Structure 1
Amino acid sequence: MTELTLEQKLQAMRDKFRESLGGRIVEIDAAWKAACEGDEEARVTLHRLAHSLAGSGATFGLDKVSEVSKGLERAVEAVSSGIDIASSGAVTARLAQVRQVVTEAAYDDSRVAEETSLTIASRSVDNRRLVYVAEDARAEPDNLAEQIGHFGYDVERFFTPEELFKGVERQIPIAIVTDVVFESGIHAGIDVVERITEEISNDIPVFFISTLDDIAARLRAVRAGGLAFLNKPVDVSVFVDRLDALSSIEPPEPFRVLVVDDEEAMTEYYRTILEAVGMKVVAVNDPMMVMDALVSFLPEIVIMDLYMPSCSGYEMAQVIRQQEAFISLPIVYLSSEGDKGRQLEAMSAGGDDFLAKPIVPDHLTGAVTNRVRRWRVLRSFMVRDSLTGLYNHTKTKEMLDIEMARARRQGSGLFFAIVDIDKFKLVNDTYGHPTGDRVIKSLSRLLQQRLRKVDIVGRVGGEEFAVILIDTDVENAERILNELREHFAAVVHHSGETEFQCAFSCGVANFEDYETAQDLNEAADRALYAAKNAGRNQVVLARTDK
């Protein structure tokens, strides 16, 4: 069966929406009749139905339907509670307009000619480790290129803007690091980046470095699309963290988006748009099911309508915020509500942003992308170690509790190991803390590269790491940890002209021998000290009296 294109899918939705218009008029008429008989709940339903039709009509290209529906919505709002709505000439007139326009649209066979604007970005890089560094040949060497190379990157140096341009023409790197000032001009580094953006690629991350720190240089760097502006001397440990994120061979996890709207046509439309750019989407049409979706799906953003039956978007945002786990979860309202006061009210009730229907697909995906990226950064500050990007001590303990419970339920194996770099204080005292940081990062990278994706790694102390080996036995656990130990001992570290090597000791414990995560942790810790006392650079399995 041939896969439909995005435009074909959206056109099918427009056709389906048009077919639903007759039923919508029936619903509106029923609500109108009940409201005329004094049913206040029916008045609320009439307002919601008009509001919904205003938003969905515009989304599916029926602007006239949207326009008259907004008129009905405003007319219903203008009738005070307790006043006979049947006596309102404005409501009666607007209702007649809606009936006429919607009926015409329902029987109009002509298709809406609407071009979908949706950008799906992609960038091809031949070498996921290639970094270009451009510095003025006159500048004092600061070994930046060399230091970046210590972290496993392939670094190519350039000494003029023209050399950098030719290098990018030849091969696109994962990132460009360029000085701002060159002999050819005070902002020559920015000039060449603008030229690269216009003539070669506008999708290469650029880091500007400079001894300048004036607002003019920073502003030009921003306008040129710079990812960062770093003052010399550059803190390489911070800089490499950014590079690691850019060069990750594994693609990032798809954004998880929860869409809440009582209109099934709307949730399906948003789902189609967001999934087209690789996001994972769960759609909920019943607000009462939102909490179940939050717990099972763990979304990174909630896109929600304001007006829904049984629960408004305002109310649902407050319910979500009552849960500590979701107190910082981004909530974005997507509604045809045009009243600024009500938009602000919605924001004060727990929302983070307000997007107006109809929304251009590119604007929707852009808004979601920006919000989720910021959310991931904030989350990383809470659960990740800033130097290595591994789980921090608190998160590692939490994951150990979770994985022990899972292993008991499934009857699978689990081993917990504590890894500690031998004589690390001597490294810091001899070569300095920046070199010590590079050693820590090299071990963290080794652990990430050599372990399986299901295994969990955290940094739990200065030079101490924790490893949770999932679904394995004692022979494999010891083999894996000894292989890691041997690989790390073979790594050559640099400090200026000096080369040196490090080793680590490791204690490992089997979760089956211990009741709690704390007991397991303490057993691995005792085994670690046994490894240290036995001469270091070895793996020791915790022994029990069982």
Structure 2
Amino acid sequence: MVVSDNNKYVKLRNLQQKFASTLPERLNLIQTAWLNSQGTPDNSELFTDLLRQVHSLAGSAGTFNFFRLGDVAKELELLLKEYQHGSLPEAVTTVRRLLQQLVALAEQGHEQPKTELITDDSAEIEYLSNQQAVIYVLEDDEDIAAESFRQLIHFGYQVVTFNSVSDFKHAIYQQIPDALLIDIQLVEGEFAGTEAVADVCKTLQLNIPSIFISQHQSWQHRLSAMRVGGQGYITKPIDFDQLADQLEILTGRKQGSRYRILIVDDTVLLAEHYATILQCAGMDTEIINDPGHLLDVLPNFRPDLILMDLYMNGSTGIEAAQVIRQHGSYTNLPIVYLSTESELEQQLNALRAGGDDFLQKPIDDNHLVAAVSTKAKRFRELNSLMNCDGLTGLLNHISFKLALEREIAQTYRYHEGFTLAMLDIDHFKLVNDHYGHLVGDRVIKGLGRLLSHRLRKGDIAARYGGEEFALILPNTPESVAKRLLDELREVFAKIAFAHAHGTFHATFSVGIASCPPYKNVHSLIEAADQALYQAKRTGRNQVHIAADNR
């Protein structure tokens, strides 16, 4: 969930107050640690604990607007490191002075923030792309308007149609939709559609993503659409598959789900601050204060990036990264370190050990959002190229098999079952033979789009091969899976696919099996395939359950 501006500032202020309230105790612990280790810097355990506490304070103070306190803590940290490697005559006196400064600065309270957090509306739209998009259709031909309504709701859009410019304008001033589908020529005039959009955008002082439809292919009509911000132009009869492609881009559905960021930091308040800032930018976060829990959280949360402190109690960020990299599933997962460490050689050592970037504490909130979102986006893009089918954007065959193995392991670990469904488009060879392979590809893409938009969060969809698809439905009994797939099957049968001489409809058949009772990848797929064969053999366009065949 995206944190609202009001809630964001309340939460950040509360975290700042909590940090301020902990300062007296933290400074007292640092002074005690210094007294216990004074004169014995070679006592690694005592002195390492002192350094860790000072490092933590130096890294977190600036985040909560205690900038000067953070600078003094950093100065103290560097002095203690020098003292550890060779006794400095003036070190003891300087340490005492710096400790006194820390106490005085803590009593003075926080300073004014150096920058305000920028909330990027476009970023929020990108991450909220899975919400149901609202499409306004302005079309005075009742048949075209009705068909547009029927086709677009199949893909999960909320559609509102208007047959007059006045009704359209009245509605849009009440609620701004995610995109517009506008006929250029209406009963009000040859260019009434483009003129209506121009008026609305001028009044609202914004550009609404728009696709124009027309029976004309002339340069003048296309130019009129472009001049009012039209980002798409489709000639009649409408190819709804092409329209769905363009709407996916305009409404942000191509962007995918919100980025998932795993924060690993043993400073609780600092981790909560980072989480709040990233949530404000539209990302989902999970916090781990003990790196020992990493391997338990990673399989379930499936992050797009790990944001990890370099120095933590129990293990360093470098050690944690090396443990993560032992697992083949996480070799490409971005790991970004956070630390006050300023020595270039230490930063390079951290990167050589499996890190991807190094951010220095305290980090500006906007810098944090930009750095994290950029790397998470790049990871998503590369991951998609490696793991997803190029035509549909769903998981490819290999990635699906790996996902199925993980789901089976999770089932027996947490005692939660799931259902596997194998789908196959009916008479697909005839589609290719009659209409050509390009049209056949559009049918495959259409089913992929339907699965992407209509499945539930947590469901996994893949193109298994050719015209065959596979679904993993977690925590879903066979009876519920059958009902869900029957609904998808009925919707798909209503989608119109265009060819040279008109439109046609396609159907698919489904076989499902569950885990348990099937306990491994081979037996589960074989059972679902056998159920699919039965669905094909008994008439197609239906769902069969493997249990029915045992």
**TM-score normalized by structure 2?**
0.71
Per-residue deviation, 1:403? 4.9
After the TM superposition, which residues 99-138 of structure 1 pair with which residues of structure 2 at under 5 Å, given as runs?
99-108=99-108, 110-114=109-113, 117-120=116-119, 121=121, 122=124, 128=133, 130=135
> Is the partner of 2:252 in helix, strand or coil?
helix
- Check if 1:267 corresponds to 2:271: yes
Q: Does 1:30 align with 2:56?
A: no
What is the match of residue 156 of structure 1?
A: 182
- Aligned position for 1:458: 462
Alignment of 1:81-230 (within 5 A): 81=85, 83=86, 85=87, 87-89=88-90, 91-108=91-108, 110-114=109-113, 117-120=116-119, 121=121, 122=124, 128=133, 130=135, 155-156=181-182, 166=199, 168-169=201-202, 175=209
Number of the residue aligned with 1:373: 377
Q: What do the CA deviations read for 1:113-140 (whole angstroms, capped 9, x no partner)?
A: 33762234355999926499xxxxxxxx
- 1:11-50 superposed matches below 5 A: 11-30=16-35, 32-35=37-40, 38-50=42-54
Q: Residue in 1 aligned with 2:168?
A: none
Q: Give the Cα–Cα distance (whole angstroms) in 2 for the partners of residues 155 and 255 of structure 1.
A: 30
Deviation, 1:15, is 2.2
Counterpart residue identity of residue 54, structure 1: A
Question: Contact 1:241 / 1:389 at 8 angstroms: preserved in 2?
Answer: no
Contact kept? 2:408, 2:519, Cα under 8 Å: no
Question: Quick one: which of 298, 304, 311 aligns to 1:300?
Answer: 304
For 2:71 and 2:417, the matched residues in 1 are separated by: 62
| Cα contact 1:237–1:437 (8 A) shared by 2 | no
> Residue 414 and residue 344 in structure 1: after superposition, are their counterparts in 2 closer, same or farther (change >3 A)?
closer
Q: Assess, with a 3 A threshold, how the Cα gap between structure 1 residues 88 and 241 changes in structure 2: closer, same or farther.
A: farther
1: CA distance between counterparts of 2:441 and 2:181?
Answer: 20
Counterpart of 1:246 (choices 234, 242, 252) is: 252
Q: 1:169 to 1:389 in 2, by over 3 A?
A: farther
Residues 259 and 284 of structure 2 are in contact (CA less than 8 Å); yes or no, is this contact kept in structure 1? yes
Instruction: State the secondary structure of the residue aligned to 1:13.
Output: helix
Q: 1:113 is matched by which residue type in structure 2?
A: Q
Distance 1:242 1:257 in 2: 25
Match of 2:346 among 333, 342, 346: 342
Find out whether 1:323 has 2:324 as its counterpart.
no
Structure 1 residues 446 and 357, CA, compared in 2 at 3 Å: closer, same or farther? closer
CA distance in 1, matches of 2:36, 2:366: 36
Aligned in 2, Cα 1:343/1:490: closer, same or farther, shift over 3 Å?
same
Q: Secondary structure at the match of 2:100?
A: helix
Q: Partners of 2:508 and 2:301 in 1: how far apart? A: 39
- Partner residue in 1 for 2:440: 436
Range with greater deviation from structure 2 (466-475 or 514-523): 466-475
Distance in 2 between residues matched to 1:419 and 1:244, nearest whole Å: 29
Say if 1:131 and 1:175, in contact at 8 Å, map to a contact too: no
Task: Choose which of 356, 359, 362 in structure 1 pairs with 2:363.
Answer: 359
Given the superposition, is the C-alpha separation of residues 163 and 351 from structure 1 closer, same or farther in structure 2, using an over 3 Å criterion? Answer: farther
Look up the match of 1:199: none
Distance in 1 between residues matched to 2:20 and 2:31, nearest whole Å: 19
SS in 2 for 1:337: coil
Report the CA distance between 1:329 and its aligned residue: 1.7
Cα distance in 2 for partners of 1:99, 1:237 equals: 66
Counterpart in the other structure of 1:196: none
Contact 1:418 1:507 in 2 (8 A): yes
Query: Which amino acid is the alignment partner of residue 105 of structure 1?
Result: L
- Equivalent residue, structure 2, for 1:9: 14
Q: Separation in 2 of the partners of 1:410 and 1:283?
A: 21
In structure 1, C-alpha distance between the alignment counterparts of 2:466 and 2:474, rounded to whole Å: 24
* Residues paired across the two proteins, number: 482
Q: Which runs of 5+ in 2 are unaligned?
A: 1-5, 138-147, 158-179, 185-190, 213-218, 234-240
Looking at structure 1, the residues matched to 228 and 495 of structure 2 have their Cα atoms a distance apart, in angstroms, of 37
CA distance in 1, matches of 2:300, 2:264: 15
Match of 1:425 among 412, 426, 429: 429
Tell me the amino acid that sits aligned with residue 526 of structure 1: Q
Q: What CA distance in whole angstroms lies between the structure 2 residues aligned with 1:49 and 1:476?
A: 53
Deviations 1:50-70 (A, max 9, x none): 433332333333333333333
Unaligned runs of 5+ in 1: 133-144, 194-205, 210-234
Structure 1 residue aligned with 2:528, among 521, 524, 533?
524
Tell me if structure 2 keeps the 8 A contact 1:301–1:330: yes
Instruction: Say which SS state the counterpart of residue 384 (structure 2) adopts.
Output: helix
Kept after mapping to 1: 8 A contact 2:432/2:439? yes
Alignment counterpart, residue 58 of structure 2, candidates 54, 63, 67: 54
Shift of 1:463: 0.8
User: What amino acid maps onto 1:258 in structure 2?
Assistant: L
Shift of 1:45: 4.2
SS of the aligned residue for 2:28 comes to helix
- 2:529 and 2:516 map into 1 onto residues whose CA distance is 16
Query: Equivalents in 2 of 1:207, 1:348: separation in Å?
Result: 45
Question: Once the two structures are superposed, what CA deviation does each residue of 1:401-458 show, in whole Å capped at 9, x if it has no partner?
Answer: 4555666788887654432222223322333333222211222334455555565432
What TM-score, normalized to structure 1? 0.71
Distance, in Å, in 1 between the alignment partners of 2:30 and 2:439 is 72
- Cα separation, 2, equivalents of 1:127 and 1:96: 61
Which SS does the other structure have where 1:307 is aligned?
Answer: coil
What is residue 167 of structure 2 aligned with on the other side?
none
CA–CA distance in structure 2, aligned partners of residues 271 and 106 of structure 1 = 25
1:460 is paired with a residue of what secondary structure?
Answer: strand
Once residues 411 and 72 of structure 1 are traced to their aligned partners in structure 2, the CA distance between those partners, rounded to angstroms, is 51
| Cα-to-partner distance string for 1:348-395 (whole Å, 9 max, x where unaligned) | 222111222222222222322222233333333344333223333234
| C-alpha distance in structure 1 between counterparts of 2:257 and 2:321, whole Å | 25
CA 1:526 to 1:14, structure 2 compared with 1: closer, same or farther past 3 Å?
closer
Amino acid at match of 1:331: I
Measure how far apart 1:336 and its partner are.
Answer: 1.9
The one-character-per-residue Cα deviations of 1:138-173 (angstroms, maximum 9, x if unpaired) are xxxxxxx9xx98996863367999987556447877
1:432 to 1:5, Cα distance in 2 relative to 1, 3 A: same
Root-mean-square deviation over aligned CA pairs: 4.6
1:31–1:360 distance in 2 versus 1, CA, 3 Å: farther
State the partner residue of 2:166. none
In 1: Cα distance, 2:294 partner to 2:454 partner: 39
Structure 2: how far apart are the matches of 1:474 and 1:293? Answer: 28
